[in-house]
């Protein structure tokens, strides 16, 4: 698994469900380059348990992400038809009805591989046949991509561990603060808090406030 921070986000074209109902065939994050930041997250499987809590949690903050110039996009190795079916199922039945951000279908598993979050790998058996070692689904990977298409933050959780949407909002705020003011954000920084200049004097002035 390679670290993508500081590198261009891998490009792809794949089927996706957008607006909760419409299937498109050639969805790409490239459409956001130069226009929006992107929070791109992977989840293991449709019709599961922790996954819908995360998708609903990101939906609940979607307007806030968009207000800050950040698009939210999800991805799993399920088909676009599976995504569509899950989107038609109500929340109280375990579905994700009401989720409106794009959900990408990584049926080839190449997107998960390129982002370094695929659980398992392909190998060959004694007869030369391709076999899968592992479940071949995505870990809970998340990538914050800036307008230039560069990955600024990534986090990967194992299957049972759901993510904190508020923490991802905090990291987005920190990235935007750095871009706007040129200041760096210390531990536990939150929007409106004191940051510091990346100089000895700037750090000393920040520490003197404690």
User: Which residue in 51, 70, 75, 185 is the catalytic one?
Assistant: 51
> Looking up tokens 């996706």, which residue turns up?
16
Query: How close are the terminal C-alpha atoms of the chain, in Å?
Result: 39
Place 127 in a pLDDT band, splitting at 50, 70 and 90: confident
Calculate the average pLDDT of the chain. Answer: 94
Q: Look at residue 14 and tell me whether its pLDDT is greater than 60.
A: yes
| Least-confidence region, from 1-10, 39-48, 58-67, 70-79 | 1-10
pTM of the full predicted structure? 0.92
| Residue scoring higher pLDDT (69 or 200) | 69
Higher pLDDT, 72 or 130: 72
d(CA 32, CA 45): 25
> Cβ neighbours of residue 68 under 8 Å, at least 6 residues apart?
37, 172, 173, 176
Confidence (pLDDT) at 191: 96
Task: Tell me: pLDDT of 182 over 70.
Answer: yes
Active site residue 51: yes
CATH 3.40.30.10: which residues of the chain? 14-162
pLDDT above 70 for 208: no
14-162 folds as Glutaredoxin (3.40.30)
48: Cβ contacts below 8 Å, ≥ 6 apart: none
pLDDT of 207 > 90? The answer is no
| pLDDT, tens only, 50-72 | 999 999 999 999 999 999 999 99
């Amino acid at each position: 698994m390679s670290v993508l921070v500081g590198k261009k986000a891998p490009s792809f074209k794949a089927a996706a469900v957008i607006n909760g109902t419409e299937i498109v065939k050639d969805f790409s994050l490239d459409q956001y380059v130069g226009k929006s930041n992107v929070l791109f997250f992977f989840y293991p499987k449709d019709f599961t348990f922790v996954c819908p809590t995360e998708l609903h949690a990101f939906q609940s903050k979607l307007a806030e992400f968009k207000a800050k110039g950040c698009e939210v996009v999800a991805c799993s190795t399920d088909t676009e038809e599976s995504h569509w079916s899950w989107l038609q199922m109500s929340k109280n039945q375990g579905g994700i009805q009401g989720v409106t951000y794009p959900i990408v279908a990584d049926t080839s598993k190449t997107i998960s591989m390129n982002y370094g979050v695929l659980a398992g790998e392909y190998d060959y058996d004694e007869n030369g046949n391709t076999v899968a070692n592992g479940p071949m689904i995505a870990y809970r990977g998340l990538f914050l991509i800036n307008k230039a298409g560069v990955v600024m933050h990534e986090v990967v959780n194992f299957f049972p561990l759901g993510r904190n949407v508020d923490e991802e909002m905090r990291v987005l705020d920190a990235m935007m603060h750095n871009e706007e003011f040129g200041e760096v954000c210390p531990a536990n920084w939150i929007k409106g808090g004191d940051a510091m200049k990346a100089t000895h004097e700037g750090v000393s002035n920040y520490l003197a406030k404690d």
